[in-house]
Amino acid sequence: MSRDYRFADSFGYAVPDSPKMLRETLCVAQARIGNGPPDPRNREHIERLERLIAECDRKRPLHHGKHDSLHTDECGCPGRSPR
- Regarding 20 and contact with Zn ion (CB under 5 A), the answer is no
Q: Which of 20, 29, 52, 71 binds Zn ion (CB under 5 A)?
A: 71
Kindly state the number of chain residues that form the binding site for Zn ion, as judged by CB under 5 A.
3
Tell me the three state secondary structure of residue 51: helix
Q: CA geometry: angle at 53 spanning 17 and 36, to 5°? A: 100
The DSSP call for residue 75 is S
CB of 45 to Zn ion, least distance (A): 29
| Residue type for position 56 | C
By CB under 5 A, is residue 61 in contact with Zn ion? no
Residue 57 touching Zn ion (CB under 5 A): no
Q: How far is the CB of 67 from Zn ion (least distance, A)?
A: 5
N-to-C CA span, the chain: 29
Contacting residues toward Zn ion, per CB under 5 A: 71, 75, 77
